[in-house]
Amino acid sequence: MAFIDFLAFQEALLIFAAVIVGYVGVAVFLAMRHNDAAGVKSALKSGAIPIGSVGAVATVLALWAETAWPLPGSYNILFTDVYLLFGVTLVVLAVTMATSSKLQYAGIFGLIAGGVTISYGWNGYILHMTKDPLETFLLYGAFGLAGILAFPATLVTDHFLAHPDGTAFAFGTGVTVARRHPSIQASSRAAQPIVPVGPSGTPDEDLSVRPSFHLPIYISTTLLIFVVAIALAGFAAMWYLDVTLPGHLMSAP
């Protein structure tokens, strides 16, 4: 089968992936801040289809390019090896999100793939294996870093979802705390409000005391750093596409 130059399209898929994963990450972060496990699960399930779609297309294109690349040398190794890892990582993540499995195992996949990607990018830079070695290294480095940071982000998300009773990061203050939004994390006995008993021996509904919820700084920082890394990867992909697109359109291999 003849080779078709779809490198620009592959680069565009990188942007799609960064935007979608970043959007899901922000949605998960906001839901966790409101102690809303249902919102976290909804954001993950909703993002599974678009992430899986991008991952499936990327995987197919990478497999095709691995076998059909017309040029001798290392371009098929430098470009399509890591692109195949990128596609498979997205597929694994999407399946994990859709099935409500533990995200940390997809995070481990991203951690390893990220390290490999950075290694490929660094070697491509020092060996000048492309016409744009610096841009290539920055692209690989940004997505590799995002893959590495995905592991701690998935760990804290798993920890949050593993405590549907609201005890993941909750603590009691002994003061009345008003809740604007109900949370399914208060559904178990361990998270039931402490209801004072009035003089008549009946619960006083107006004096309920609930444990307050504050998302720890280290949890917020972990999630936000991952989102920022994904955003930087998206910007790197847009920059790389802007640099390389004219050459692909004018003189395809």
- State pLDDT tens for residues 42-74: 999 999 999 999 999 999 999 988 887 766 555
- 207 versus 169: the higher-pLDDT residue is 169
- State pLDDT tens for residues 78-98: 888 999 999 999 999 999 999
Going by DSSP bridges, is the β-strand pair 212-213/170-171 parallel, antiparallel, or unpaired? antiparallel
* Residue-range domain boundaries for the chain: 7-166+216-250
**Mean per-residue pLDDT, 133-159:** 94
**Mean per-residue pLDDT, 234-252:** 80
pLDDT at 126 over 70: yes
In terms of Cβ atoms closer than 10 Å to its own Cβ (0-12, 13-18, 19+), residue 139 is buried
In terms of Cβ atoms closer than 10 Å to its own Cβ (0-12, 13-18, 19+), residue 115 is middle
CA distances from 38 to 91, 99, 150, 166, 184 (A): 23, 15, 21, 12, 7
Class of domain 7-166+216-250: mainly alpha
pLDDT at position 177, please? 40
DSSP 198-215: -TTSSB-GGG-B--EE--
pLDDT at position 243, please? 83
What is the rounded CA–CA span in Å between residue 143 and residue 113? 10
